[in-house]
Structure 1
Amino acid sequence: MEEVCEAAGISRRTFFNYFPTKEDAIIGHADDDVPADIIDEFVAGGSDSPSGEISPTLFRDLVRLSLQLSEHMSASEEETRQLIAVVKKEPQLILRIMGVTEQREAQFARDVARREGVPADHPVVQMAVVLLGTIARKSSMAYFSDGNTRPYQELLMENISAASLLFSQPFNTLETTAAEGHQ
């Protein structure tokens, strides 16, 4: 800790003004790396839809937002690999990462809800958060896997396209319910 403070030219007290704990210095804050202008542009994109109705461009705009946010990731590949190594040595950091992730997902839900004029617990908002979070995690795992040479955005788009293809298939709840009743 002293080495970090000395290298930064600050006291321990100043350090802890910015980071309440050492773990926070490693993990960061929930609002780090989320440029307000990108979120504002995303939220404004839903203004053409009547309040309370899901915008017909929501999925497209979520994809665009995901790509824009991935371009603004501040951590380099090497920094991310170092973080992974630290987490392997200090597994208690996983809980902190999970907490930050939950905070980011809650904020993302509020942003989507604000854009669409619906509550944050609206089913479409919740699915947007869960699905995009899962797609981003899968893309990240592939990106940081040994031997990967593909850019993150390419992996992200591949996974978004796969999800889009899956969800574009016809689905009839009446047929599904009837089929379940005959089992």
Structure 2
Amino acid sequence: MNESATGDLGSRERRRRETYAALTTHARTLTADRGLNGFTIEELCEEVGVSRRTFFNYFATKEDAVLGAKSADPIEPFAAGFLASGPAAAVDGSGSVPPVALKDALLELFIEAFATLDIPRADVHDFMRAMHAEPALMRRMADSARHRQRALAELICQREGLEADDPYGELVALLVSHLGMASFQQFIGHDGFCSADPGPEASESDDEARTRLAAILTSNFSHASRLFGA
């Protein structure tokens, strides 16, 4: 690929990210101020300066725009590598020998998955105002988290060579899901839920932010290891 083509791809990706960010930011502000029923998709598009068709290239509903919802599970693209590092794959000769410890593989999985997220550092305040304005959004977010936690539990059981409904997978998935959420809250700053000031972290580059988030995840996972004497 020549430099011009690479530059065009970079420009398109930047525009995509800018449009995505503008739609989520304005959807959150409008929801916080008026509620979900207080504005139309057309009004949101006018605020952002895009067409209705462009909106539906990113989101299916206003709710999705507020949540910044992605249809794909962020862990799914890394599932194959996670499975290949486990004891089940080592037994059949398709994975790592020796296998990677589960706690280390989970940490790497979360770091990889979190690195793909569009992290709403600057508009956390409006995001949380929107959640409080529309409790249904909070319930939907919780339902999505439970679905992904269940998928992670099944993935853990598959990696460890266990039955899909083994309670061990559920317990580990519950623990690391809470670790991930706690790490994310620590990343954005707990005061960010109540403060209109996004803090100095809002000026971080994406690479700096992801490096800091990876460090927080690593630290919190190490504390969990100490809990079990590992």
TM-score class normalised by the smaller sequence: 0.7 to 0.9
Per the alignment, residue 135 of structure 1 pairs with 179
Tell me, yes or no, if structure 1 residue 26 matches structure 2 residue 66: yes
Aligned length, in residue pairs: 163
Identity of aligned residues (%): 25
Structure 1 match to 2:52: 10
TM (norm. structure 1) is 0.72
Measured against aligned partners, the alpha-carbon deviations of 1:93-130 in whole angstroms (never above 9, x if no partner) come to 11010111111112212222222232232132112201
The amino acid across from 1:74 in the alignment is D
What's the C-alpha RMSD, in Å, of the aligned pairs? 3.1
Matches within 5 A, 1:30-179: 31-34=72-75, 36=77, 38-46=78-86, 47-49=89-91, 57-144=101-188, 145-146=190-191, 151-168=212-229
Provide the rounded CA distance (Å) in 2 between the counterparts of 1:76 and 1:43.
30
Structure 2 residues without counterparts, runs of 5 or longer: 1-40, 93-98, 192-198, 202-208
Q: Which amino acid aligns with 1:15?
A: F
After superposition, the Cα gap between the structure-2 partners of 1:35 and 1:118, relative to the gap in structure 1 and judged at 3 Å, is closer
Q: What TM-score comes out, normalization by structure 2 length?
A: 0.59
> Going by fraction, where is helix more abundant, 1 or 2?
2
Distance 2:85 2:200 in 1: 34
Change (3 A) 1:119 1:5: farther
Consecutive unaligned residues of structure 1, counting only runs of 5 or more, are: 170-183
CA contact (8 A) 2:73 2:148 kept: no
C-alpha change, 1:113 and 1:9, in structure 2 (3 Å) is same
Contact 1:142 1:148 in 2 (8 A): no
